[in-house]
């Protein structure tokens, strides 16, 4: 029998109050060569967590004592860049508060353990390239929202967060351009939102050469628009049938 401790790079922490689901997730990681340490709730997971030891963490949202969202906040205060997967459903409206963290993904609980493993594996292989002063693997919500972009005409918002968005436009927009973006959606109850933004990167679309892709950082989100934007983001999260957040 080999009594040696597992290498830290291959250890994952799995927190789930349902033993059947927890064992199924652990088995998926064990089959891939990881060593899975189990926790039955967030309180137990927090007691087991040690910075720079775990390769990643998988946690359910609904758990006694400390739920998954509170656990993620606590873990990220200890080690911000630890890859973390939250398994939740569309009722988990606190998900948006977690979008500020790097190396974070949310997976709908209807997905099998193989998808959960794939999500964490994607985080482990994502380089921590800096964008907006945050690692590139800070995640946004996929969208397909029609937008009006100042004098540049129509555009499509391909991903969205409380801090910025990815856009596709018919006309090129220079780097560092200040512009106003107006958009609406069912989550906004037909009320449009107009936000001031700055272009932080731009490139020609690889799929459509007559389109320009750009990333914008919101200069400010007025208080009156914040609840509307959150409602829209939650709608986009809840209707998705995939891993919820995608890289910028």
Query: Which of 3-17, 34-48, 139-153, 230-244 has the lowest average pLDDT?
Result: 230-244
pLDDT at 3: 46
Question: Does 215 lie in the same domain as 122?
Answer: no
Residues 153, 114 share a domain: no
User: Is 98 domain-assigned?
Assistant: yes
Residue 45 structure tokens: 């997971």
Pairing of strands 130-131, 134-135: antiparallel
Give me the mean pLDDT over the 213-230 stretch: 82
Domain that holds residue 233: 140-247
Helices assigned H by DSSP within 49-149? 68-78, 113-124
Q: Using CA atoms in the order 224, 225, 228, 234, what is the torsion angle rounded to 10 degrees?
A: -130
pLDDT at 234 exceeding the cut of 60: yes
| pLDDT reading at 138 higher than 50 | no
Across the range 32-56, mean pLDDT stands at: 90
**pTM given for the model:** 0.61
- The pLDDT score that the predictor gives to residue 209 is 58
Phi, psi of 131 (to 5 degrees): -140, 130
Number of domains observed in the structure of the chain: 2
Instruction: Let me know whether 160 and 58 are in one domain.
Output: no
Give pLDDT tens digits for 10-40.
899 999 999 999 999 999 999 989 999 999 9
Which CATH number goes with the domain that contains 96?
Answer: 3.40.50.2300
Please give the mean pLDDT across all residues of the chain: 77
pLDDT tens, residue by residue, 74-103: 998 888 888 888 888 755 556 667 766 777
């Amino acid at each position: 029998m080999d009594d040696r401790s597992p290498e830290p790079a291959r250890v994952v922490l799995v927190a789930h109050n349902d033993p059947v689901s927890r064992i199924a997730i652990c088995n998926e990681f064990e089959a891939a060569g990881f060593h899975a340490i189990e926790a039955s709730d967030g309180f137990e997971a927090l007691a087991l967590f040690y910075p720079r030891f775990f390769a990643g963490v998988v946690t359910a949202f609904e758990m006694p004592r400390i739920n998954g969202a509170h656990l993620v906040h606590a873990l990220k205060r200890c080690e911000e860049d630890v890859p973390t997967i939250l398994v939740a459903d569309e009722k988990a409206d606190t998900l948006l508060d977690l979008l500020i963290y790097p190396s974070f993904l949310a997976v709908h609980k209807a997905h099998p353990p193989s998808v959960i493993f794939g999500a964490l594996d994607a985080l482990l292989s994502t380089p921590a390239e800096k964008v907006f002063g945050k690692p590139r693997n800070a995640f946004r919500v996929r969208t397909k929202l029609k937008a009006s972009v100042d004098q540049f005409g129509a555009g499509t918002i391909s991903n969205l967060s409380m801090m910025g968005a990815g856009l596709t436009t018919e006309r090129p927009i220079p780097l560092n351009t200040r512009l106003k973006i107006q958009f609406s959606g069912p989550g906004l109850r037909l009320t449009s939102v107009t936000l001031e933004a700055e272009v932080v990167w731009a490139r020609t679309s690889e799929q459509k050469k007559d389109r320009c892709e750009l990333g914008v950082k919101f200069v400010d989100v007025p208080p009156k628009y914040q609840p509307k934007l959150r409602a829209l983001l939650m709608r986009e999260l809840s209707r998705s049938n995939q891993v919820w957040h995608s890289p910028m």
